[in-house]
Amino acid sequence: MSADVLHAAEARMAKSIESFHRELATIRTGRANPSLIEHVQVEAYETHVPINQVASISAPEAHMILIQPWDRHVIQAIERALQRSDLGLNPSNDGQVIRVPVPPLTEERRREFVRVVKTKAEEARVAVRNIRRDDLEQLRRIEHEGELSEDEGQRAQSQLQKVTDRFIEQIEEVARRKEAELLEL
């Protein structure tokens, strides 16, 4: 019974880490990366969709993102969406593809992105701790109902804490790497 709770907690914590990775991928580091813009919403076909659902995105150079729409009718909508985004990018199109130069980051912008990384890391840590809290309550309820002995309950709680510590350390490591990437010139 406690093993099921621990496995479920570990799976939910892993999903939190995956979400954290996806969020960090959208923070630009001065290098061109398709994940930087794939979340930008484009008004196409009378609805809002992410760019990656209406075009292929590639980074052929270190400072250039290339967007090739599958339908040329959405090229203007993609360009407008990129200009309105908070990414500070200036796209240009030639009627076939959109080229998005990724300028080097200023020191001030780098520091701002580091603060964003720290905020996202804290949100991820809170999510993992909330999972731990919910599962601790579940373990205590199972123990109170008599389906788990007190010793087994204590062992399960200790294992849950170790799993939580491991995931928090992963969050810290990912955040440190992203900060170093942002601050490198």
Report the mean per-residue pLDDT for the chain: 87
Q: Looking at the chain, which residues constitute the CATH 1.10.132.20 domain(s)?
A: 2-25+106-183
User: Would you state the pLDDT for residue 108?
Assistant: 85
Q: How confident is the model at residue 185 (pLDDT cuts 50, 70, 90)?
A: low
How sure is the predictor about 44, in pLDDT bands with cuts at 50, 70 and 90? Answer: confident
pLDDT tens-place string over residues 137-161? 998 898 888 888 888 888 989 999 9
* Axis-axis angle for helices 107-144, 150-183 (nearest 10): 170
pLDDT at res. 124? 95
pLDDT of residue 1: 66
| Per-residue pLDDT at 125 | 96
Q: Report the distance separating Cα 73 and Cα 54, nearest Å.
A: 10
Report DSSP state, residue 56. Answer: E
- Intervals of CATH 3.30.1360.40 along the chain: 34-101
For the domain bounded by 34-101, which CATH number is listed?
Answer: 3.30.1360.40
How far apart, in whole angstroms, are the C-alpha atoms of residue 6 and residue 56? 40
| Contact present, 51 and 63 (Cβ < 8 Å) | no
pTM score, two decimals? 0.71
- Dump pLDDT digits (tens) for 97-122: 989 888 777 888 888 888 989 999 99
Write down the pLDDT at residue 59.
87
CATH code of the domain made up of 2-25+106-183: 1.10.132.20
pLDDT tier at 170, thresholds 50, 70, 90: very high
Q: Where would I find the H helices in 31-149?
A: 75-84, 107-144
CA distance 102 to 170: 29
- Percent of the chain, pLDDT > 90? 32
pLDDT above 70 for 30: no
Supply the pLDDT for residue 177.
Answer: 92
